[in-house]
Amino acid sequence: MLWPPFSAAELALLVHMVMAGLHFYAIFELIRIAGATYMSQANFLSVGFGVVFGIVIFEETHSLFVWASIGMILIGVALVNARRRQATES
């Protein structure tokens, strides 16, 4: 059970719980407003943020395979957006 006074680890857990709840609420709202296809594309942002935070905060370095994978993700998102744009213009 979590009772005050909270340790730093317990505070981190509580903050994570609130942030995770807000995250899931935002996901469901995005699906409701824009649709599941757009949500699946926006979900790829978490990969990018994870890589950037890893580099900035933890000073990680990545191999060419990681950068190639990120490039393929971006190309895939661009192709889906191009096809979606063509469908709406027709």
In this structure, the answer to whether residues 30 and 61 fall within a common structural domain is no
In this structure, the answer to whether residues 49 and 89 fall within a common structural domain is yes
Q: What percent of the chain has pLDDT over 70?
A: 92
In this structure, the answer to whether residues 48 and 86 fall within a common structural domain is yes
What is residue 11's predicted lDDT score, i.e. its pLDDT?
94
Could you tell me the residue range of the domain that residue 15 belongs to?
7-34
* Cβ–Cβ under 8 Å, residues 40 and 30: no
* Cβ–Cβ under 8 Å, residues 27 and 36: no
What is the pTM for the complete model shown? 0.52
User: Mean pLDDT for the chain?
Assistant: 86
In this structure, the answer to whether residues 49 and 83 fall within a common structural domain is yes
Question: Model confidence at 5, in pLDDT bands (50, 70, 90)?
Answer: very high
Q: Which residues contact 88 (CB under 8 A, 6 or more apart)?
A: none
